[in-house]
Chain A
Amino acid sequence: MQTCLLCHRENLYQPTLWQLLNFQTVSQSPVCTGCWQTFEPIPADQACQGCGRRSAEKKCPDCQKWQADSSFSNRALYTYNAPLKRYMSQYKFNGDYRLRRVFQGQFQQAVKTLQADLIVPIPINQSTRKQRGFNQVLGFLEGVETLAGLATVQSDKSVPQSAKTRQQRLLTAQPFKLNVDEEVFRKKRVLLVDDIYTTGRTIRHAAELLIGAGAREVIGLTLAHG
């Protein structure tokens, strides 16, 4: 018996009629239909073109206010609701790597639609990586060709924040550095992938860096917005 990885109840294998008629082999989803239906997808045509949240307008009120960085656009696949939060906590904090498979299909499809030259996952820092044993974003992208174009910057803990000049503080605010030669990004359309878009600060920092390296366009893709 297969059990659902989220609710631990029996997970019946229910291929669709279409799949049966076409003799398609589909791998069984690791979560049951009941759990699957608690997630709220954001259709691309009902999303804010800035941050990716569900929005009737082309730009949500927040994004209208922050017109300054309107060059960056993020696509979020789901609303970050309670069931998705529970999923993320089991995946990231328990470290149940099996759960990477739940949204792989959705990511593969989105990556195809967004048609980028390069796909760059947001990296996680060394100590988290060591403790968790995996990068949760790379887990979503298994089977997709990605480029480890970014690395995290080790925060300099020997100097307290208050002792730094404003200039230094702004500099240390950039959590990433390039992991490959600038040349690689020149004139490329780059897709940055992260798990959750909250304030957008993380992914926008990364985008800035890539634009600075000469990328033609940088767009974002996240599992969720919230």
Chain B
Amino acid sequence: MIDAEQLYGRQILADEVHLNNAQGVQLIRRPALAIQDRWVLCQRCGQRTLKKEVRLPGNKFYCPHCFQLGRVTSDQWLWSLAEPNLFMPIASSPLSWRGKLTPAQASCSQQVRQYFAAGRTHLLWAVTGAGKTEMLFPGIQWALSHGLRVGIASPRVDVCLELAPRFEAAFKSIPQIVLYGDMSGTYEYRQLTICTTHQLLRFYHAFDVLVIDEVDAFPFAADPGLSFAAEQAKKESGALLYLTATPSRELQRQEKQNRLTVSYLPARYHGHALPEIKVKTTGNWRKRLNQNHLPGKVNRTLSQLIMKQRRFLIFVPHVNDLPRVETALKKQFPPLKLATVHATDPQRHEKVQWMRDQQIDCLITTTILERGVTFSDIDVIVIGADDQVFSTAALVQIAGRVGRKADFPSGLVQFFADSQTKVIREARRQIRFVNRKARQEKLIGDV
């Protein structure tokens, strides 16, 4: 037995469903797997699979792409109830945020609100440090005060957990829920939902306004199921807004062909250009690192930084490189206060805090710190930027760690690589492109 409320705009996989309070609602039932000639098409995650690959005894089929939410088989149904928007009426403005948008932010924000109202799909391209969350507030205020259901989703749990308190503070009177894989609580029906994009697979025509944050390399080369999940989680009449800091060439092509509308915010809120990426070529950084040494050029750059008493992040390609660089630095620069951090480091949050509190001057890290963290007045070094773990989006984000605060809007972004790969060139091109655009629009002064 399940409460009707649990099923508003949701979809659950089951043989059958019994509702507690079934009066006045109509259960919607769809086959979980669509069977075609040679393919099966999953109605939850949208991926298709060759039938002969996933045939079970008894001529049944399953989807091998979305196991985490329980296996979808061809003899099951997806059950849902239409979203009724049963929220408490809101008397006054729900926005408790009292900050001010820059004129450029305000104009983007205005466009976003119009696309929300029109129920359209739109992309907001804002550079790292543009203040895009704040730009969403007016549009979301409009949606909430009209009794609409709003969802904010990101592929990364870290981003969701970082966004949640900001939305809670900005909309104090609106009940919200945060959903992710290993959360401790259970699902509740709320007007404002913040969740991982993976959790979107549990929704069906729920949101009047859905925002997908931190979308790399639109249109999601890495995750073809994402646009399906987003389309299905929103109402058919609902608005869909994608946010990105790293526009791919494909995105620009789609915009030119008028297949997508885009708002640009090519400047940071403080009105200074993005620091551009500098590259120095190394002989064979992999060999040097494996011998616990740094390439000579890296050493020279670092000693200059240390002499100027700069504080910096060093990005390395792999977890194994962390102790190597640490050993080399301790030998070369004994007084330097440093730490290493990686994704499964139990002290991860503490170490980030040490760097913020200036207890250490150097943090050596894998790509986990590429986004979501802000340090004041730092430089960034990447050793082995030509390694294939770094995507263009990752390199742009890494460069975006520098100069985020209005008090310290600039700094050094120095990459070391054996050669300038296509990925590095594309990252440099993107940053130069947005700076050029920002200058054209007079959003930044001359630097």
Interface residues of A (CB under 8 A from B): 90, 94-98, 133-134, 138
Contact at B54–A134, with CB atoms within 8 Å? no
B60 CB contacts on chain A under 8 angstroms: 133
**B131 close to A (CB within 8 Å):** no
Per a CB cutoff under 8 Å, which of B53, B58, B64 touches A133? B58
Per a CB cutoff under 8 Å, which of B53, B56, B64, B67 touches A134? B56
Interface residues of B (CB under 8 A from A): 53-58, 60, 62, 64, 67, 71, 73
Across chains A and B, the number of contacting residue pairs, with CB separation under 8 Å, is 25
Contact at A97–B56, with CB atoms within 8 Å? yes
Name the prevailing secondary structure of the A interface residues.
loop
What are 10 A-B interface contacts by the 8 Å CB criterion?
A90-B67, A95-B62, A95-B67, A95-B71, A97-B56, A98-B54, A133-B58, A133-B60, A133-B73, A134-B57
Contact at A96–B67, with CB atoms within 8 Å? yes
* Known contacts A133-B60, A133-B62; A94 and B67 CB within 8 A of each other: yes
* Known contacts A133-B57, A133-B58, A134-B57; A96 and B64 CB within 8 A of each other: yes
Q: Tell me the bound Cα distance from A98 to B71 in angstroms.
A: 13
Q: Tell me the bound Cα distance from A94 to B56 in angstroms.
A: 13
Q: Tell me the bound Cα distance from A98 to B73 in angstroms.
A: 14
How far, in Å, is B344 (CB) from chain A's closest CB? 16
Q: Tell me the bound Cα distance from A97 to B71 in angstroms.
A: 11
Contact at B57–A98, with CB atoms within 8 Å? no
A98 CB contacts on chain B under 8 angstroms: 53-54, 64
Give 5 A-B pairs besides A94-B71, A138-B57 with Cβ atoms closer than 8 angstroms: A95-B67, A95-B71, A97-B55, A133-B57, A133-B73
Q: Tell me the bound Cα distance from A138 to B67 in angstroms.
A: 22
**Top 9 nearest A-B pairs by Cβ distance?**
A94-B67, A133-B56, A95-B71, A134-B57, A97-B56, A134-B56, A96-B64, A133-B60, A98-B53
Q: Select from chain A the residue with minimum beta-carbon distance to B72.
A: A95
Q: Tell me the bound Cα distance from A98 to B62 in angstroms.
A: 10
Contact at A97–B54, with CB atoms within 8 Å? yes
B64 CB contacts on chain A under 8 angstroms: 96, 98
A90 CB contacts on chain B under 8 angstroms: 67
Q: Tell me the bound Cα distance from A97 to B62 in angstroms.
A: 9
Q: Tell me the bound Cα distance from A96 to B65 in angstroms.
A: 10
Q: Tell me the bound Cα distance from A42 to B385 in angstroms.
A: 43
Q: Tell me the bound Cα distance from A156 to B364 in angstroms.
A: 61
Q: Select from chain A the residue with minimum beta-carbon distance to B68.
A: A94
How far, in Å, is A143 (CB) from chain B's closest CB? 14
Q: Tell me the bound Cα distance from A58 to B137 in angstroms.
A: 73
A97 CB contacts on chain B under 8 angstroms: 54-56, 62
How far, in Å, is A170 (CB) from chain B's closest CB? 34
B67 CB contacts on chain A under 8 angstroms: 90, 94-96
Q: Tell me the bound Cα distance from A138 to B56 in angstroms.
A: 12
Q: Tell me the bound Cα distance from A69 to B271 in angstroms.
A: 82
A95 CB contacts on chain B under 8 angstroms: 62, 67, 71
Q: Select from chain B the residue with minimum beta-carbon distance to A97.
A: B56
Q: Tell me the bound Cα distance from A96 to B62 in angstroms.
A: 8
Q: Select from chain A the residue with minimum beta-carbon distance to B57.
A: A134
Q: Tell me the bound Cα distance from A110 to B54 in angstroms.
A: 26
How far, in Å, is B181 (CB) from chain A's closest CB? 15
- Interface centre among B60, B62, B73, by most A CB within 10 Å? B62
Q: Tell me the bound Cα distance from A97 to B67 in angstroms.
A: 12
A138 CB contacts on chain B under 8 angstroms: 57
Q: Tell me the bound Cα distance from A94 to B64 in angstroms.
A: 9
Q: Tell me the bound Cα distance from A138 to B55 in angstroms.
A: 14
Q: Tell me the bound Cα distance from A215 to B58 in angstroms.
A: 32
Q: Select from chain A the residue with minimum beta-carbon distance to B60.
A: A133
B57 CB contacts on chain A under 8 angstroms: 133-134, 138
Q: Select from chain B the residue with minimum beta-carbon distance to A95.
A: B71
Q: Tell me the bound Cα distance from A152 to B83 in angstroms.
A: 45
How far, in Å, is B223 (CB) from chain A's closest CB? 13
How far, in Å, is B70 (CB) from chain A's closest CB? 9
Q: Tell me the bound Cα distance from A225 to B64 in angstroms.
A: 28
How far, in Å, is B296 (CB) from chain A's closest CB? 34
Q: Select from chain A the residue with minimum beta-carbon distance to B74.
A: A133
Q: Tell me the bound Cα distance from A97 to B60 in angstroms.
A: 11
Q: Tell me the bound Cα distance from A97 to B58 in angstroms.
A: 13
Q: Tell me the bound Cα distance from A87 to B84 in angstroms.
A: 43
B54 CB contacts on chain A under 8 angstroms: 97-98
How far, in Å, is B72 (CB) from chain A's closest CB? 10
A133 CB contacts on chain B under 8 angstroms: 56-58, 60, 62, 73
B56 CB contacts on chain A under 8 angstroms: 97, 133-134
Q: Select from chain B the residue with minimum beta-carbon distance to A96.
A: B64
Q: Tell me the bound Cα distance from A106 to B56 in angstroms.
A: 22
- Interface centre among A90, A96, A97, A98, by most B CB within 10 Å? A97
How far, in Å, is A46 (CB) from chain B's closest CB? 33
A134 CB contacts on chain B under 8 angstroms: 56-57
How far, in Å, is B318 (CB) from chain A's closest CB? 15
Q: Select from chain A the residue with minimum beta-carbon distance to B53.
A: A98
Q: Tell me the bound Cα distance from A98 to B54 in angstroms.
A: 7
B55 CB contacts on chain A under 8 angstroms: 97
How far, in Å, is A98 (CB) from chain B's closest CB? 6
Q: Tell me the bound Cα distance from A97 to B49 in angstroms.
A: 13
How far, in Å, is A90 (CB) from chain B's closest CB? 8
How far, in Å, is B44 (CB) from chain A's closest CB? 15
Q: Select from chain B the residue with minimum beta-carbon distance to A30.
A: B53
How far, in Å, is B45 (CB) from chain A's closest CB? 14
Q: Tell me the bound Cα distance from A96 to B63 in angstroms.
A: 9
